[in-house]
Amino acid sequence: MKKLQKIFFTATLMIAAVCLVFVSCTKEGAVGPAGANGKDGVNGLNGVNGVDGLNGKDANSSCRVCHTVANFDTKIAEYHLSKHYLGTSSSRNTKFCARCHTSEGFQEIQGSGQFTVTNDMPNATRINCQTCHKHTGFDFESGDTLSQVLFTNKPVYLNYNKNLTATDFGKMSNLCVNCHQIRGKTALVYSDTTLTPKVLNAAFDQLPYFPFTLSTNNDLDTVQYRAGRSFAVHDGNQSNLFAGINGYEYAGVTYVRTWAHTGFSCTTCHMNTYNATDKTGGHTLIVNKAQCTACHGGDKLTPVQTSISAKLVELGNLLTARKVFKKTTSGTGVVSYSALNTHDFNGKLYITPLPSDSTKTYAASSSMNTVSTSTGLVVYGNILKYAKDADWALRIGRPWTYGELGAAYNYGYINSELSIGVHNYKYALKLLQSSIDWLNAHPVSKK
Ligand code: HEC
Ligand code: HEC
Ligand code: HEC
Ligand code: HEC
Ligand code: HEC
Ligand code: HEC
């Protein structure tokens, strides 16, 4: 049966391909159902038939809506301006990264239905035409043309939901959401220089996934934020913010999830009409903002981004005052915040103020994973090192409450999302404001 299908598919392709070559095929057009497509005349490839705008019903012209050299050249040129092409992250080609960072990895998980690829992929390539495109049908007369050439448009099993439930973001967005989502668990592999035998390749447990079930995790329950653990969303949570989901939501607060453009797809904005002047839109995936301004009658984005940036600073400073975050100002004046661990790797509480026993040492990671320049693979380089605590004066000296962890997570959720609130202004603002309100309502003294 499989084989038959394959032969049939090949035959269809061949007939269609033949039609692309021989002008005489266009005569068959008369049999097909009427179509809106009169583009033959425009692309000039069709000689005598060029004037015949009515002759737009057959396989020839239905394929040529897309399949002209000029159209593909345009797409290639636009794609060359996108970060999928320009970015360097296809070197993230190991088991836990390849599904989102390489073309072959993405294709493998789509075929296998697994959430990671089976092996490291040293020769994998960057995201390209074949990552996003595959013909799933040839019935272009009956509508839904574009989804027939996308690699997938199936609802997505979100990592955040432990890959248990499929969420439908809409046919055009599902493709993107496979990768542009909260990353979820990856393997952290540590070596311990002091233990014998050395604990090599030992995986480490992560913080529990959000969302916490509030019946078991109250905002005031305590939690350790151990060295090595991570609650980072990994810069890819655009789909989560767009849908208004997976932030830390405080008990008793109402969160609005929908907004003016909830009905849009990722492509409505990121693949809008190509603008040759500033090289945005189309397959560049850079938003052509001129199209937004025309409809908004002005710039709606800057006010959104300005107010979200201000709220981020307010929250960052509150968390710093509480000793949840540490604030760093670079030589050039750039301010950044990082979360300070409450416990060391092995679960020992960082004590503050400095204990009189100044020989106390704590276990933390001393080096990071790197990408090998010769093999292109990630080399696990996390090594545990025991040292005195240089940050003792900045530490909170107790476990966090979930309310504090939630506020720190919400800061990261918006800060890493990269649109600065544009993808869902209402939800973004509410996440930040409810975090600020909770911290103010639970001052450290009354915690
Ligand atoms: C809506 C646009 C569109 C239409 C209509 C369309 N194609 Fe395609 N086709 C594509 C895209 C996009 C690709 C992938 C490009 C790539 O891989 O470089 C593709 C790839 C192909 C391939 C390469 C093999 C594959 O499956 O990847 C063949 C053959 C093909 N198309 C034939 C056809 C034929 C025959 C028709 C008409 C029956 C047709 N296409 C109609 C967009 C379209
Ligand atoms: C196979 C996974 C994958 C798919 C599918 C995918 N992306 Fe991406 N996208 C990435 C990765 C990985 C990057 C970062 C690339 C880099 O920096 O090397 C990225 C980068 C981007 C960027 C640039 C971000 C920046 O910081 O400038 C935009 C915009 C984008 N993608 C939008 C989309 C849209 C829209 C779709 C769907 C039409 C999509 N992506 C589909 C993985 C994917
Ligand atoms: C669920 C999909 C997903 C997985 C799995 C994933 N990433 Fe990413 N990653 C992304 C997306 C999407 C971006 C791009 C964010 C952007 O620029 O908009 C990204 C960005 C990055 C960047 C920044 C790239 C740049 O040019 O700024 C690095 C570095 C990175 N990822 C490393 C990794 C590593 C290492 C792993 C495996 C341990 C991994 N990623 C696994 C989706 C993923
Ligand atoms: C990040 C995913 C992604 C990549 C990479 C990508 N495309 Fe597309 N492509 C899409 C999506 C999504 C659409 C549908 C766009 C829409 O709805 O407006 C599309 C539409 C198309 C179409 C049909 C629409 C038209 O205007 O003709 C063609 C042809 C096409 N792509 C060719 C290519 C080629 C060639 C490449 C490689 C240079 C490529 N695409 C790379 C996602 C992608
Ligand atoms: C309402 C229009 C709109 C929709 C819908 C939309 N985006 Fe965006 N997106 C934007 C704007 C505007 C920015 C900010 C770009 C800037 O400031 O230059 C942005 C930023 C981004 C970025 C950060 C990189 C960059 O270009 O600055 C990524 C990645 C991204 N979007 C992916 C997506 C994905 C994936 C979806 C679908 C889940 C999506 N977007 C839906 C408008 C949109
Ligand atoms: C068809 C018209 C139309 C287009 C095109 C359009 N928008 Fe909008 N946009 C609206 C309307 C209507 C609102 C809601 C106004 C309100 O509620 O005050 C809105 C609101 C917004 C908001 C929320 C601002 C606020 O103050 O609440 C953002 C962000 C936004 N649009 C982004 C975009 C981006 C990015 C684009 C371009 C890719 C875009 N829009 C294109 C009609 C449009």
Cite the DSSP H helix spans in 281-336: 289-296, 301-321
Pairing of strands 222-223, 400-401: antiparallel
The two three-digit tokens of residue 399, written as one number: 């476990």
What is the model's pLDDT at position 4? 35
Helix 301-321 to helix 425-441 angle, to the nearest 10 degrees?
20
Given a contact cutoff of 8 angstroms between Cβ atoms, the answer to whether 51 and 41 are in contact is yes
| CA-closest residue to ligand 5 atom 32 | 238
User: What is the chain's pLDDT, residue by residue, as a tens digit (447 residues)?
Assistant: 333 333 333 333 333 333 333 333 333 333 334 334 433 333 333 333 433 434 444 556 789 989 999 999 999 999 999 999 999 888 788 888 899 999 999 999 999 988 889 888 989 999 999 999 999 888 888 878 888 999 999 999 998 877 888 999 999 999 999 999 998 666 566 666 666 555 544 555 555 455 455 455 688 988 888 887 788 888 999 999 999 999 999 989 999 999 999 999 999 999 999 999 999 999 999 999 999 998 999 999 999 999 999 999 999 999 999 999 999 999 999 999 999 999 998 889 999 887 777 778 998 877 777 767 776 666 777 778 888 998 999 999 999 999 999 999 999 999 999 999 999 999 999 999 999 999 999 998 644
Helix, strand, coil percent content, the chain, rounded in steps of 5: 40, 10, 50
Q: Is the CB of 291 under 6 A from ligand 6?
A: yes
Q: Is the CB of 241 under 6 A from ligand 6?
A: no
Tell how far the Cα of 121 is from the centroid of ligand 3, in angstroms. 16
Q: Is the CB of 261 under 6 A from ligand 5?
A: yes
Tell how far the Cα of 67 is from the centroid of ligand 1, in angstroms. 7
Tell how far the Cα of 178 is from the centroid of ligand 5, in angstroms. 15
Residues flanking ligand 3, CB < 6 Å: 87, 89, 92, 96-97, 99-101, 159, 179-181, 183, 186, 234-236, 378, 418
113-128: burial string, b at 16+ Cβ within 10 Å, e else: eeebbeebbeebebbe
Written as one string, the DSSP assignment of 137-155 is ---GGGS-TGGGGBS--S-
What is the model's pLDDT at position 62? 85
What is the model's pLDDT at position 24? 32
Tell how far the Cα of 344 is from the centroid of ligand 4, in angstroms. 48
Q: Is the CB of 271 under 6 A from ligand 4?
A: yes
Could you identify the atom of ligand 5 that is nearest to the CA of residue 268?
5
| CA-closest residue to ligand 6 atom 34 | 292
Ligand nearest to the CA of 71: 4
Q: How far is CA 375 from the centre of its chain?
A: 26
Ligand nearest to the CA of 87: 2
Tell how far the Cα of 339 is from the centroid of ligand 1, in angstroms. 48
Closest CA to 254 of 439, 408, 426: 426
| CA-closest residue to ligand 6 atom 27 | 425
The two three-digit tokens of residue 51, written as one number: 């004037």
Ligand nearest to the CA of 370: 3
d(CA 87, CA 81): 10
pTM (global) more than 0.85 = yes
